[in-house]
Amino acid sequence: MDFGYPQNLSPEILKLYITQEGVRSPFSSKPSDRPVPNATLQVTGAVGWRREGLVYKKNEVFLDIVESVNLLMSSKGVVLRSDVTGKILMKCFLSGMPDLKLGLNDKIGLEKESQLKSRPTKSGKTIELDDVTFHQCVNLTRFNSEKTVSFVPPDGEFELMKYRITEGVNLPFKVLPTIKELGRTRMEVNVKVKSVFGAKMFALGVVVKIPVPKHTAKTSFTVTSGRAKYNASIDCLVWKIRKFPGQTEPTLSAEVELISTMTEKKSWTRPPIQMEFQVPMFTASGLRVRFLKVWEKSGYNTVEWVRYITKAGSCEIRC
């Protein structure tokens, strides 16, 4: 605090001064074991989120692009609504005060780069990012003028940016359900799930929840991949596939026997099918890291790791 006004609210910096030990007076005659951190430098310096003098034997940067797909699809496989919310997570173990520059395949950034270098943009997929929010370490002046993400990173783990994409979404799956009600006591359920991503990739932990009426008595299944069972507590047929390869079309066929009741006069309103999944090394938005550059005055070498993952947000398929 300075004259009652908060000067620094960064948890990483405040951790240096909030300790479980007793605080030694600067006028004490006994020599201190470790130097007292200088709070004034952190407050008045331009980089309040990173302390000076950090040293690592191995300088590494881990960058994760994590996306959630929100989807509403018709029973015929037509996309009614889709968007992607994403975030870029970083974990930095870098010595000194490094300056990082991140290049993405976003449309505005590539167009600005081609203007500055006076040459046309290379052909390739570009995407339009909406609702972008940055961590406080990002240099917004440079982003506004050059459209590049430049920053001095905090030490350890942090969220660099968040974004949303509403156009040109690459959906990892297509679901085609067919549900036939045969009289009042029987139902036939056929669901085909097609993976649209590359054949060398695979999805993990795929779960398809197919709703059935409350008065279900008995179910029998045939699946070409994974396992299926009836969960009475949520009134759903739950189909689980642990590892789902790309460019495949597993199917589920089920016969559902219902209890004939006199009270059930109104027809069953079919709730949507819900889906859960995780696809490593795939982005539904098409976002790609073009480069990640690290500059530091000592000129050390760094190792950069980049990972992509797409998860299911709210995925519903009408049946």
Query: Can you say how many angstroms the Cα of residue 247 is from the centroid of all Cα atoms in its chain?
Result: 23
- Could you tell me if residue 219 is inside a domain? yes
> How many domains is the chain built from?
2
Identify the burial level of 90 via C-beta atoms within 10 angstroms of its C-beta, where 0-12 means exposed, 13-18 middle and 19 or more buried. Answer: buried
State the Cα–Cα distance between residues 192 and 174, nearest whole angstrom. 8
pLDDT tens per residue, range 1-46: 788 888 777 776 777 677 776 666 666 655 555 555 555 555 555 6
Instruction: Determine the structural domain holding residue 207 and report its residue range.
Output: 173-280
Q: Say if residue 144 is in the same domain as residue 245.
A: no
- Asked whether residue 53 carries a pLDDT value surpassing 80, the answer given is yes
Sorting pLDDT into bands at 50, 70 and 90, what band is 118?
very low
* pTM, rounded to two decimals: 0.80
Phi and psi, residue 93, nearest 5°:
-125, 80
The reply to whether 218 and 264 lie within a common domain is yes
pLDDT in tens, 55-111: 999 999 999 999 999 999 998 889 999 999 999 999 999 999 999 999 998 877 666
Between CA 182 and CA 190 the distance in angstroms is: 13
In 268-282, which positions are buried (b, 16+ CB within 10 angstroms) versus exposed (e)?
Answer: eebebbbbebebeeb
Would 3 be classed as within a structural domain? no
**CATH code of the domain in which 226 resides:** 2.60.40.1170
**Domain shared by 287 and 263, yes or no:** no
The residue among 111, 142, 129, 177 whose CA lies nearest residue 287 is: 129
Is residue 193 domain-shared with residue 276, that is, in the same domain? Answer: yes
pLDDT band, very low/low/confident/very high, at 269 (cuts 50, 70, 90): confident
